[in-house]
């Protein structure tokens, strides 16, 4: 047993790496106390990645860790999980809520080697949600330490916009994030609202600034709240008015949806050399079902059968100049499964949250302790889509979903009948694809309404050749 104290440092580090990424936190601390050598070898791993949950209680993680005055120089990445109990405190004006947020803002300033910061809004499906105060969020961004090069903000559609109730305001999340584009290397932003003002830092300069960004992901969709409708600001940094209902720019000649506008503008900046180091850049939106024939690609034979149009994730890759469309639909029922069709026409099933994670080409991974970081393999890639694709590791394939949940799908029956795929994911060149997804009848097939039960059915009528 005495020989265990003389383990090589490399072996010790491997052991501590394993313990740090597992749930064995108490075993990790116990190992540090074995001897002085183990303590000095394992301490950096203990503090390297920190995840704190913000609650109002004085004994919760955030206030407890805030009292520390030593070893903060060892922290490399920090993840804040902002809970509903904390945000409820703002709604009812509890002083503790503001005090906790002050701790969130000031704690990173005491970490000289902090390089990555994540702010995640914890939302549970079906539960009441409270908003993140916009002014306080801007305070976090304005006081972001210069050492931070990777930033993730995922607050869904829940923060209080300062100008929503008090008229137009100069303060807006886009203006707060925009200057950070000139010093961050990695950014994942999922705000309540987003507009082209995000790129205002590149305007009004005789010489265009150069951004060191290597990865940029802008998500304009919300998840887990049951509200897939996009939200956009009434006023952005460029004083452009946006609609709160349809997400269209209310100015003559500006007819593109906001996410598509963002992707096009980012692509133009990339072409002009504003992002010379950017290897992966995406704008991700969620397009709801639209039965309007004008919303479908040209010459699409539109089916009238109930339920033949689909929601779709839109992924605009503004570096490769491509648009990917992934149709999806909630199965319904007690299992709460969602189906998504990948580019290879394979169907996958999972919860809304797992689907949400799977479609992101440039993911930030969360370990068992809640610490979030940019996926390491991505840092070695030259491009995003071909190398990463959709991460299906957390999803079920069709056979598994049928066996476990007895999944049935009318689409599959129709596809078996015609012997072809009637609904397909697609990837097209350019950033102009804003069309919906619908089942498409192959040539020679037609739809008719059954006289007996008035249901729409399909049958083969021939090609007429």
Residue 255 lies in a domain: no
Residue 92 lies in a domain: no
pLDDT tens-digit readout, 188-239: 988 766 777 788 888 766 677 889 999 999 988 754 333 334 434 333 434 3
- Alpha carbons 93 and 238: distance in angstroms, whole number: 33
pLDDT tens-digit readout, 9-45: 777 777 777 776 665 666 667 777 677 777 777 777 7
Burial 144-182 (b: 16+ CB within 10 A, else e): beeebbbbbbbbbbbbbbbeeeeeebeebbbbbbbebbe
* Residue 256 per-residue DSSP state: S
Residue 125 lies in a domain: no
* Segment 388-391 long-range contacts (CB within 8 Å, at least 24 positions apart): 388/361, 388/362, 388/363, 389/343, 389/361, 390/326, 390/342, 390/343, 390/348, 390/358, 390/359, 390/361, 391/357, 391/358, 391/360, 391/363
How many CA atoms does the CB half-sphere of 288 hold within 13 Å?
10
- Alpha carbons 15 and 245: distance in angstroms, whole number: 54
Residue 232 lies in a domain: no
- Alpha carbons 309 and 329: distance in angstroms, whole number: 9
Q: What is the pLDDT of residue 377?
A: 56
Q: What is the pLDDT of residue 245?
A: 35
Residue 369 lies in a domain: yes
Range of the domain at 322: 305-465
Residue 449 lies in a domain: yes
Q: How many independent structural domains does the chain possess?
A: 1
- Alpha carbons 425 and 347: distance in angstroms, whole number: 10
CA distances from 94 to 97, 120, 134, 160, 162 (A): 6, 21, 16, 16, 19
Residue 289 lies in a domain: no
Confidence band, pLDDT 50/70/90 cuts, at residue 164? very low
Residue 383 lies in a domain: yes
Rg (CA), the chain: 25
CA distances from 223 to 112, 226, 227 (A): 34, 7, 7
Top pLDDT among 385 and 5 is at 5
The answer to whether 114 and 338 are in contact (CB under 8 A) is: no
pLDDT tens-digit readout, 43-75: 777 778 888 888 777 777 887 888 877 888 888
Closest CA to 80 of 325, 407, 366, 334: 366
Q: Which residues contact 15 (CB under 8 A, 6 or more apart)?
A: 7, 31
Q: What would the DSSP string read from start to end of 439-455?
A: -BPPTTEEEEE-TTT--
Q: What is the pLDDT of residue 149?
A: 93
Q: What is the pLDDT of residue 233?
A: 39
- Alpha carbons 233 and 407: distance in angstroms, whole number: 40
């Amino acid at each position: 047993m005495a020989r265990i104290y003389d383990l090589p440092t490399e072996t010790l580090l491997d052991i501590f790496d394993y313990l740090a990424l597992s749930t064995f936190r108490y075993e990790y601390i116990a190992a540090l106390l074995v001897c002085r050598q183990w303590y000095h070898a394992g301490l950096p791993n203990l503090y390297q990645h920190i995840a704190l949950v913000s609650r109002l209680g004085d004994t919760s993680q955030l206030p407890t860790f805030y009292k520390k005055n030593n070893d903060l120089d060892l922290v490399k990445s920090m993840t804040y999980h902002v809970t509903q109990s904390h945000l409820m405190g703002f709604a009812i004006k509890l002083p503790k809520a503001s005090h906790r947020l002050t701790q969130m803002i000031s704690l990173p300033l005491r970490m000289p080697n902090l390089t990555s910061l994540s702010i995640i809004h914890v939302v549970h499906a079906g539960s009441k949600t409270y908003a993140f105060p916009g002014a306080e969020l801007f305070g976090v961004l304005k006081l972001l330490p210069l050492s931070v090069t990777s930033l993730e903000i995922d607050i869904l559609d829940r923060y209080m916009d300062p100008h929503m109730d008090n008229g137009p305001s100069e303060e807006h999340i886009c203006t707060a994030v925009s200057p950070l584009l000139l010093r961050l290397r990695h950014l994942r932003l999922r705000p309540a609202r987003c507009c082209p003002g995000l790129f205002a830092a590149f305007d009004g300069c005789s010489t265009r600034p150069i951004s060191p960004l290597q990865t940029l992901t802008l998500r304009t969709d919300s998840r887990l709240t049951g509200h897939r409708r996009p939200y956009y600001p009434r006023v952005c940094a460029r004083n452009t008015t946006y609609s709160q209902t349809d997400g269209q720019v209310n100015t003559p000649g500006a007819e593109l949806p906001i996410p598509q506008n963002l992707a096009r503008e980012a692509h133009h900046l990339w072409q002009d050399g504003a992002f010379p180091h950017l290897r992966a850049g995406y704008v991700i939106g969620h397009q709801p079902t639209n039965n309007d024939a004008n919303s479908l690609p040209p010459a699409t034979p539109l089916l009238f059968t109930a339920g033949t149009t689909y929601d779709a994730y839109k992924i605009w890759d503004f570096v490769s100049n491509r648009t990917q469309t992934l149709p999806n639909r909630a199965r319904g029922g007690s299992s709460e499964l969602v189906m998504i069709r990948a580019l290879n026409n394979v169907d996958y099933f999972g919860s809304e949250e797992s689907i949400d994670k799977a479609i992101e080409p440039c993911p930030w991974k969360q370990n068992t302790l809640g610490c979030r970081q940019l996926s390491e393999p991505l840092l070695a890639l030259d491009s995003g889509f071909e190398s990463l694709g959709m991460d299906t590791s957390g999803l079920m394939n069709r056979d598994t979903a049928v066996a476990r949940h007895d999944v049935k799908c009318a689409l599959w029956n129709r596809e078996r009948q015609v012997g072809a795929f009637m609904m397909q994911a697609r990837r097209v060149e350019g950033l102009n694809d804003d069309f919906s997804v619908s089942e498409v009848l192959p040539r020679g097939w037609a739809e008719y309404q059954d006289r007996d039960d008035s249901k729409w059915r399909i049958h083969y009528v021939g090609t007429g050749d």
